Chains A and B, each alone.
Chain A
Amino acid sequence: MSKLTESLNKIRSLEELSEGVTVIHRLHPMAKLVTTIIYLVVVISFYKYNISGLIPFFIYPILLMSLGEIPYKSVLPRLLIALPFSFFAGLVNPFLDRELAFFLFGIPVSRGLLSFLSILIKTVLTVMAVLILIATTPMDKLACQLIRIKVPRIFVMQIMLTYRYLTLLITEAAGMMTAYHLRSGGQKGIRLEHIGTFIGQLLLRSYDRAEKVYTAMKCRGFNGEYRFAAQEKMKAGDIMYGLLLCAFFLLLRRFNISVIIGSFFG
């Protein structure tokens, strides 16, 4: 499967997920956006050696993945994109920071190993949190919230239009790729001398499409403003959800639950 169709499937599956009807889907998008951002900030604010404090933060993604009925198999491909760079940025830590942190059942654990693990855990947590947001909130509702927090309309419009045409142009490019491959005797990728013409063709087609889109929009009364559906009101439940979760995150940040639980056993 080519990169193009693969990404097309990714977008489609996330879109389908976001149309679900679970408790999490029904929450106000603003409540989810705010909690996600607070969660991300709290998670990455942990000191690089503090792993035990980070582990309890798995509670949030695990519970929300279950409540929001998000399959775990959708996490994996995202991790494959996000992890490699983090992995290799962190992999040097165990080699460069070899100071002893503590003994775990008699095995010496270095600080570098701790900071390496904390990078990996943070990557998994942050990737899951963003996935949960996007898999339970449709893009247009998210865009409404961006306008609400005073992101310039023209920029939000840009995001929405790019998102809308993504699938169209990827399909277009995938078609061109298939045509090229069928005529090129099974070689991988596109030859360097053809890339200008190939991408240039795609560009001209994109311009054509933009022209048609503009005409169609004009026919329907477009005057330079992109209209969004009316804002939903936040209910008491949404506010409660946001406040409770944020308080929970801050509590976990302040008190190391792992150490407290561990002290009963150790």
Chain B
Amino acid sequence: MHMADALITPAVGGVMMAVSAGAIGYSVKKVKEEFDEKKVPLMGVMGAFVFAGQMINFTIPATGSSGHIGGGILLAALLGPYAAFLVISAVLLIQALFFADGGLLALGCNIFNMGFFACFIAYPLIYKQIVKKSFTTKSITAGAITSVVIGLQLGAFSVVLETLISGITELPFTSFVLLMQPIHLAIGLAEGIATAAVLCFVLKSDPALLDGYDRSVSEESRMQKKRVVAILLAAAVIIGGFVSWFASSYPDGLEWSMENVAGTAELEAEGQAYHAAAGIQESTAFLPDYGFKNGDESSAMAGTSVSGIIGGGITLGLACLAGYIITYSKKKKKLNVKTNGIAE
């Protein structure tokens, strides 16, 4: 779901950067208020933990696909939403710098899509509401899965909006949404299940690590099983409804290598995006419809562009030549230094 710089315009990138910077500023203020200097190294280590954790893939039974844990809800459930938001933002920056996973100007978009929705919408409005103070395996599982799924849906929808406002892809709104949401529903389910599993492990081994956990309350609240069951049921109905709709509109939907369509890994299954889009258009004709559109814009373009491309080729050639000369002369210089060194 990481957006690249090439898919946005400076205006979209700038606005989202400002929004995310505001959210970071607010979170910094909140974290400082309850400042616990012990939390400083903890947050750093947790950032690295999520980074490493997301590289560990698990196999999804019967699909041949794989998934990994989601970062946002997991961190929020452990550190609280504000610290979690800062941790995710830092992780996204490092991913952009070192792995080209998401662009530097698109960082604001990515922080918003993956951090804001998870920490400030899905966590307080869904996870917390479901878990409340009853920290049980069931409530945590229900809370984690629903909140991860919804957070990811919002994020995916936001990706669609940001890309379309930038006007760089020709994909129409509806097909883009129909492409993104179901895929991210599947990804969300996988991430949610993994996140729930980790949180349940924490509940069993060291529940004090969970955000908002209070030993005294949790014992009595186990009585509230009924409510949890009701919520689980509701969640199942909602998710089930989504899945069946998803499955019927895309018969082979679950076989999509989900991670890939999200733009994170290998190439193989990415072709699905293309197939779906091409199918929507019901046309494989690649060459343009002959004839220019009336108006000055097109004819002006026709005039400049052919010579532009020739000129561009020449410019590129010259730049490469200059680059080659620099590299070559540097190598020669180094070689001279080496041989002279030996001679002396």
Chain A residues with CB under 8 Å of chain B are: 3-4, 7, 10-11, 14, 36-37, 40-41, 43-45, 48-49, 51-56, 58-59, 62-63, 65-67, 69, 78-79, 81-82, 84-104, 108-115, 119-120, 122-123, 126-127, 130-131, 133-134, 139, 142, 152, 154-155, 157-166, 168-170, 172-173, 177, 187-192, 194-204, 206-207, 209-210, 213-214, 217, 222-224, 226, 256-263, 265-266
Contacts and interface: CB of A to CB of B under 8 A. Distances in A.
A123 B168 CA distance: 12
B66 to A, nearest CB: 5
Interface in B278-328: 278, 281, 283-293, 298, 301-316, 319-320, 322-324, 326-327
Contacts, number: 417
Interface string B113-137: 0000000000000000000000000
B194 A195 contact: yes
A103 B56 contact: no
A130 B201 contact: no
Interface of B: 2-10, 13, 24-25, 28, 31-32, 35, 37-38, 40-49, 51-53, 55-61, 66, 69, 78, 86-87, 89-91, 93-94, 96-101, 103-105, 163, 167-172, 193-194, 196-198, 200-202, 205-206, 209, 260-264, 266-267, 270-271, 273-274, 277-278, 281, 283-293, 298, 301-316, 319-320, 322-324, 326-327, 330
Given A112-B170, A199-B194, A214-B41, A98 B288 contact: yes
A200 B201 contact: yes
A154 B10 CA distance: 27
B323 A63 contact: yes
Contacts of B263: 84-85, 88
A172 to B, nearest CB: 7
A192 B89 CA distance: 28
Given A173-B55, A189-B59, 18 more contacts: A52-B308, A62-B322, A81-B264, A85-B4, A92-B281, A95-B277, A99-B289, A100-B288, A102-B306, A110-B288, A126-B103, A127-B103, A130-B104, A139-B97, A177-B56, A202-B52, A203-B202, A262-B309
